[in-house]
Amino acid sequence: MHLERAKHTTPGLPSAATQVRDALDAANVENVEDNAKASAALSRLISKTDFNKMRAVGQFNLGFILTRWQKSEAGLDDLFIIDQHAADEKYNFETLQQTTVIESQKLFRPERLELTAADEILAVENMDILKRNGFEVVRQGDDGEEEGRLHLVAQPMSKDTVFDMKDLEELIHLMHDRPAGTMVRCSKARAMFAMRACRKSVMIGKALSANRMTSIVQHMSTMDQPWNCPHGRPTMRHVSDLTCFARYNPLPRTIDWAAFGAGGV
């Protein structure tokens, strides 16, 4: 299906409105080549609270939710299309990222961690985050040491994923330049969560009720990064500017009905 974008032709359009329309053009469904540009445009234009104001107007092809976004103070009335699986998958993925506590297994013998002073401070400040990732570290002294060093006493375990010291090093690296207590996940954990989120999300081909569509759209207001699913698939694109239909004013035509039937006399 080909969806055409509505174009403004009004001369002297205010620059703020022009910037909005340029952003919508960049985020349009026709932009299939530059996902980063589309995501950046959407993030500038739509705030998280805007998702709660969007109205689900229907489902297209059992795979996409059509939503209407009206912002009267800015003169905006636009139609967006949301990938129901990608949007639900991203919500489930971010929920798993924030809430999952990965099971751990005690080591037979504690393993001393060879960390820089800066990394050791980060590890101490974020022991709870490390533990939720399955890595349990404690401070204990070796023979002849006055101050205990950090030791790993348990590491994460999963049926399908094998974790090792490189994953702990990645976690500590990710903690740099982030406030203490901020959740971080290593690459293996993110891949594991992405797979779980995919399996539990609404699938393409499933008919949705109005309430379910509204729930998926409003969940996007809680996401940290709502524009792409964990695998990079776009969640949302702009379809059309609906204000152009309100401005549509066809030229009046007068029909001479007498002349219309004269040829048959």
> Along the 265 residues of the chain, how does pLDDT read in single tens digits?
444 444 444 555 456 667 777 888 888 888 777 889 999 999 989 999 999 999 999 999 999 999 999 987 778 899 999 999 999 999 999 999 999 999 999 999 999 999 999 999 999 999 999 999 999 999 886 655 546 789 999 999 988 889 999 999 999 999 998 888 899 999 999 999 999 999 999 999 999 999 999 999 999 999 999 999 999 999 999 999 888 776 555 556 565 555 545 555 4
pTM of the model: 0.81
- pLDDT of 4 reads 44
Long-range contacts of 177-186 (CB under 8 A, 24+ apart): 180/125, 180/126, 181/125, 181/126, 181/128, 181/129, 182/129, 183/97, 183/98, 183/129, 183/132, 184/129, 184/133, 185/97, 185/133, 186/133
Nearest to 42 by CA among 33, 51, 93: 51
Per-residue pLDDT, 59: 97
**Cβ-based neighbours of 130, under 8 Å, separated by 6 or more:** 123, 136, 137, 168, 171
Residue 116's closest CA among 169, 153, 167, 156?
169
How much is the pLDDT for 265?
44
Q: Where are the beta strands (DSSP E) in 72-120?
A: 76-83, 104-112
CA distance 90 to 198: 9
Give Cα separations from 213 to 74, 79, 93 (angstroms): 26, 15, 18
Strands in the chain per DSSP E: 55-60, 64-71, 76-83, 104-112, 136-140, 149-156, 236-241
Q: What is the pLDDT of residue 9?
A: 46
Q: Read off the tokens for 88.
A: 């639900």
